[in-house]
A and B are shown apart, each in its own frame.
Chain A
Amino acid sequence: MTAAPVIQARGLELTFETNDGPVHALKDIDLDIEKGEFVSFIGPSGCGKTTFLRCIAALETPTGGSLTVNGISPEEARKARSYGYVFQAAGLYPWRTIAGNVKLPLEIMGYSKAQQQERVEKVLSLVDLEGFGKKFPWQLSGGMQQRASIARALAFDAEILLMDEPFGALDEIVRDKLNEELLKLWSATNKTIGFVTHSIPEAVYLSTKIVVMSPRPGRIHEVIESTLPKGPRPLDIRDSEEFLQIAHRVREGLRAGHAYDE
Chain B
Amino acid sequence: MKMIAPVLTVLAAILLLWYAATVWMNSQWTYDQAARAGEEVTFSELVTDTLTQKRPVLPAPHQVAVGLWEGVAGQKITSKRSLVFHGWITLSATLAGFALGTGLGILLAVGITHSRAMDLSVMPWAIASQTIPILAIAPMVIVVLASLGITGLLPKAIIAAYLSFFPVLVGMVKGLRAPDHMQLDLLKTYNASQGATFWKLRLPSSMPYLFASLKVGVAASLVGTIVAELPAGATRGLGARLLSGSYYGQTVQIWSALFAAAALAAILVVVVGIIEQITLKRMGMVQ
Kindly state whether residue A41 has any CB partner on chain B within 8 Å.
no
A78 touches B183 (CB 8 A): no
Please encode chain A, from 155 to 167, with 1 for each CB lying within 8 Å of some chain B CB and 0 for all others: 0100000000000
Question: How far, in angstroms, from A107 to B204 measured CA to CA in the complex?
Answer: 16
**Smallest Cβ distance from A52 to chain B, in angstroms?**
15
In Å, the complex CA distance between A81 and B189 comes to 7
* Cα A84 to Cα B185 with chains together (Å): 12
Q: Given A95-B284, A97-B284: A87 and B191 within 8 A (CB)?
A: no
Is there a chain B Cβ closer than 8 Å to A217's Cβ? no
A-contacting residues, B156-210, CB 8 Å: 182-183, 185-193, 196, 200-201, 204, 207
- Is the CB–CB distance between B189 and A57 below 8 Å? yes
A108 interface neighbour in B196, B283, B285, Cβ under 8 Å: B196
Residues of A within 8 A of B185 (CB): 59, 85, 87
CB of B48 within 8 A of chain A? no
Q: Could you tell me if B189 and A109 are in contact, using CB atoms closer than 8 angstroms?
A: no
- Given A104-B200, A107-B200, A108-B196, A95 and B283 contact (CB-CB distance below 8 Å): yes
> Given A94-B284, A95-B284, A96-B284, are A59 and B183 also a contact pair (CB < 8 Å)?
no
For B188, give its contact among A59, A104, A138 (CB under 8 Å). A59
B78 in the interface, Cβ–Cβ < 8 Å? no
Report chain B residues within 8 Å CB of A138.
Answer: 284, 287
| Chain B residue nearest to A83 in the complex (CB) | B189
A182 at the B interface (CB under 8 A): no
User: Across the interface, do A84 and B189 meet the contact criterion of CB distance under 8 Å?
Assistant: yes
CB of A94 within 8 A of CB of B285, answer yes
The residue on B at minimum CB distance from A100 is B284
Closest chain-B Cβ to A14's Cβ sits at a distance in Å of 16
Any chain B CB within 8 A of the CB of A93?
yes
Residue of B nearest to A79 (CB): B191
> Which residues of A are found within 8 Å of B284, using beta-carbon distances?
94-97, 136, 138
The answer to whether B283 and A91 touch across the interface, beta carbons within 8 angstroms, is no
Known: A95-B284, A97-B284. A87 touches B186 (CB 8 A): yes
Select one of A59, A89, A94, A109 contacting B190, CB under 8 A.
A109
Q: B189, B193, B204: which has the most chain A beta carbons within 10 Å? A: B189
Chain B residues positioned under 8 Å from A84 (CB to CB): 189
A82 to chain B, nearest CB (A): 10
Residues A95 and B204 in contact, CB atoms below 8 Å apart: yes
Note all chain B residues with C-beta closer than 8 A to A97.
284
A142 within 8 A of B: no
Q: How far is the CB of B52 from chain A (nearest CB, A)?
A: 58
Docked complex Cα distance between A178 and B19 (Å)? 69
B182 to chain A: which residues have CB within 8 Å? 87, 89, 91
The distance from the CB of A186 to the nearest CB of chain B, in whole angstroms, is 19
**B-contacting residues, A10-67, CB 8 Å:** 57, 59
A168 at the interface (CB under 8 A from B): no
Residue among B183, B186, B200, B285 with the highest chain A CB neighbour number at 10 A? B186
Q: A136-B284, A138-B287 are in contact. Are A81 and B191 (CB under 8 A)?
A: yes
List chain A residues, Cβ under 8 A from B193. 108
Report A-chain residues with C-beta under 8 Å of the C-beta of B207.
95
Whole-angstrom distance from the CB of B269 to the nearest CB of chain A? 24
Residues of A within 8 A of B196 (CB): 107-108
Complex Cα gap A196–B284 (Å): 32
> How would residues 95 to 119 of chain A score, 1 for a CB under 8 Å from any chain B CB and 0 otherwise?
1110000001101110000000000
Contact of B189 among A59, A93, A94, A95 (CB under 8 A): A59
29 contacts between A and B (CB under 8 A): A59-B185, A59-B188, A59-B189, A78-B189, A78-B191, A79-B191, A81-B191, A85-B185, A85-B189, A87-B182, A87-B185, A91-B183, A93-B201, A95-B204, A95-B207, A95-B285, A96-B284, A97-B284, A104-B200, A107-B196, A107-B200, A108-B191, A108-B192, A108-B193, A108-B196, A108-B200, A109-B190, A138-B284, A138-B287
If A96-B284, A107-B196, A156-B190 are given as contacts, then 14 extra A-B residue pairs at C-beta distance below 8 Å, sorted by A number, are A59-B185, A78-B188, A78-B189, A79-B191, A81-B191, A84-B189, A85-B186, A89-B182, A94-B285, A97-B284, A108-B187, A109-B190, A138-B284, A138-B287
By a beta-carbon cutoff of 8 Å, the part of chain B in contact with chain A is 182-183, 185-193, 196, 200-201, 204, 207, 283-285, 287
A interface, CB within 8 angstroms of B: 57, 59, 78-79, 81, 83-85, 87, 89, 91, 93-97, 104-105, 107-109, 136, 138, 156
Q: Which 3 A-B pairs have the closest CB atoms?
A: A95-B283, A136-B284, A85-B189
